[in-house]
Structure 1
Amino acid sequence: MKKKKIKFGIIGLGHIGTRHADCIINHPDAQLVSVCDINSKDQWRKLNPNIIFSNSLEGLLKQDVDVINICTPNYLHASMAISVLNSKKDVVIEKPIALNTLDAEKITQVASSHNKIMFGVMQNRFSPTVLWLKNIIDANLLGDINMISVNCFWNRNENYYLNSTWHGSKLKDGGPLFTQFSHFIDIINWIFGDFSNISANFSSFQSKDYIEFEDSGIVNFHLKNKNNNTPIESVFMYSTALWNKNFESSITIIGKKGTIKIGGQYMDKIIYCDVKNYTVPQIKMQTECNDYGDYQGSASNHDKMIDHVIKVLLGSNNDNKTHNFSDGIGVVNIIERIYNLRN
């Protein structure tokens, strides 16, 4: 008996859309049936002549596919996701799933009404260092947590904005917490829970007419300790104004029984670990970044994300806790509350 393959469609064949396409094409249990983009993408079509091409979402929705991956500009994610779900197909939504909480909640309501599944792309959860850190916290090896510091210092150059019709737009892009750093807010939310008592300062060190929001910020907030009511003092410092290239993405956690820092450009390295009665295990570090030529994105774990989607849809997933769409809503809500202070 021939094994069933999950049939995919993709809307948006930019940098991240082609990454999704490669992961689907190379997966033995998947078939990329159709793609959609407003541009002709002639070179890509020559290399993939057997994949149906459409220049409209309506054309893609008519194809015989199980799930559609939305890889379009941020401001289109929610409306397109709702259209996909209304066509009775499952949906994979690149980050951010929406630019406000109300739209994110609408997606879940429509999915529930059609008994369909929504997958928010949270590929950094598959990074070996992040999984290791979550296991440390879940096992309470650090005891009560006193402080957490998150640093994300990246570069986004002029070409990044000028070669795009939406990067830098407050309405279409939303800002660096949505476009660059939502994955790292997701990691904190996934491991520690919701933010409270938020305060923030925002700066524009590279003031340009084509950037309608900050390029840097310092966000102070509280997280909950598992064992007591003392809040965890936390700070998130971020910038896209670094010279030349990305510098660091890191999390430092200071607890009563130990201190841990994971870092590197993409939180792909254990920088420091001093924990009571604990020996650091050997961890396979194979995380790479998404390289887009003029700039680099976050960890390139989309192959693991696509594999997760396929296993869920085939009913062979054994890790139901890895992805929960309500987390996607939580991340949007956290960023929205931070940016309400900006507005």
Structure 2
Amino acid sequence: MNKFALIGAAGYIAPRHMRAIKEVQGELVAAFDPADSVGAMDSYFPDASFFTEFERFDRHIDVLSRSGNGVDYMCVCSPNYLHDAHSRFGLRSGADVICEKPLVLNPWNLDGLQEMEQHTGRTLYTILQLRLHPAIMALKQRIDAAPIDKIFEVDLTYITSRGAWYYVSWKGNEAKSGGIATNIGVHFYDMLSFVFGELQCNNVHVREPSHAAGYLEFKRARVRWFLSVDRNDLPTQTPDGQTTYRSITVDGDEVEFSGGFTDLHTRSYQDILNGGGFGIDQVRPSIELVSSIRSKALEPQKGDMHSFVIERN
């Protein structure tokens, strides 16, 4: 039975990791979070040791390691800006690391993590769950089977409503979250490069705290994208009570992938345990892209504009 430890046990995404550990027949032996609202642990691993002080967690992991009972995997679910440091901690502790997206905020941090992998002999994995979604896997097969010179027209829209709390939390702080494109969009950009190949052009049309938009060209696609956490951006036809709108069209055809998300973390864990998993080299293109979106000058007149941006103007 593989032994796991988890950093960020009180976060939104942590229960998905707990469930994944349970479903791959692993054991969560220790968890850490400065907040103590971790009642979700009772549904999965009520006997796991829990710490609200990192120093005590660090000591516990060290004691386990020196007694020959060290953890096999360190799961990182902490705020985005801490992923780098917590992944390093896991590697130094002699564990392989499974880190939530985004792996890091800046591409230069990836080089240091690769050096740490080489120094420790351990491996760092990241969650790129859309690569394992059946609809996305089918889309990639469709694109790969198309004539090599075929360029696809893609529109990506993702609106996930957030309240006033969002801007007060670390997620609303660009220095900590990386901004909206990084925080809610990085796995979509990874999916686009996974399906359509190498990035060739990046124009940013809008970049505000609540929404962002732009135009991308990949080897096999021209992409207009729009991301938002503002419920006012929801289409008028959105059913009452629905707070999220997710759409990808390829040459005008909707790619239906609204379902199938509930077990993607379990699939990710199983893939890692089976010798697969996604590492630093796979995640690098999406980290480079979101870093560029965050920093480059706006070019609202370059590239095709997303229809939501046109409507706003």
The yes-or-no answer on 1:304 pairing with 2:267 is yes
1:261 aligns with 254
- Inter-partner Cα distance in structure 2 for 1:140 and 1:342: 35
The one-letter code sitting in structure 2 at the alignment partner of 1:218 is A
The one-letter code sitting in structure 1 at the alignment partner of 2:58 is E
**Structure 2 counterpart SS, 1:99:** coil
1:44-87 C-alpha deviation (Å, 9 max, x unpaired): 56664421222315135323200100000000001111121122
Q: Which segment drifts farther, 182-191 or 41-50?
A: 41-50
1:237 aligns with 226
Contact 1:54 1:60 in 2 (8 A): no
1:326 aligns with 281
| Structure 1 residue 123: Cα displacement | 1.2
- Inter-partner Cα distance in structure 1 for 2:60 and 2:267: 25
Q: Measured at CA, do residues 144 and 44 of structure 1 come closer, stay the same or move farther in structure 2, by a change above 3 Å?
A: closer
- Inter-partner Cα distance in structure 2 for 1:90 and 1:327: 17
1:272-308 C-alpha deviation (Å, 9 max, x unpaired): xxxxxxxxxxxxxx5146xxxxxxxxxx511111222
1:287 aligns with 260
1:239-270 C-alpha deviation (Å, 9 max, x unpaired): 2112474443222223xxxx64214xxx33xx
The yes-or-no answer on 1:195 pairing with 2:199 is yes
The one-letter code sitting in structure 2 at the alignment partner of 1:18 is P
| Structure 1 residue 197: Cα displacement | 2.3
- Inter-partner Cα distance in structure 1 for 2:152 and 2:269: 36
1:209 aligns with none
**Structure 1 counterpart SS, 2:157:** strand
| Structure 1 residue 342: Cα displacement | 5.3
Q: Measured at CA, do residues 251 and 18 of structure 1 come closer, stay the same or move farther in structure 2, by a change above 3 Å?
A: same
1:195-229 C-alpha deviation (Å, 9 max, x unpaired): 2221112254xxxxxxxxx222221121114xxxx
| Identity across matched positions, percent | 22
Contact 1:194 1:334 in 2 (8 A): no
2:30 aligns with 34
Which segments of structure 1 move beyond 6 Å, counting only runs of 4 or more? none
The yes-or-no answer on 1:51 pairing with 2:48 is yes
- Inter-partner Cα distance in structure 1 for 2:48 and 2:244: 38
**Structure 2 counterpart SS, 1:196:** strand
Q: Measured at CA, do residues 46 and 253 of structure 1 come closer, stay the same or move farther in structure 2, by a change above 3 Å?
A: closer
Contact 1:9 1:60 in 2 (8 A): no
1:61 aligns with 61
Q: Which runs of 5+ in 2 are unaligned?
A: 65-69, 233-240, 299-313
The one-letter code sitting in structure 1 at the alignment partner of 2:295 is N
Equivalent of 2:8, from 8, 12, 23?
Answer: 12
| Structure 1 residue 124: Cα displacement | 1.7
**Structure 1 counterpart SS, 2:172:** coil
Contact 2:155 2:249 in 1 (8 A): yes
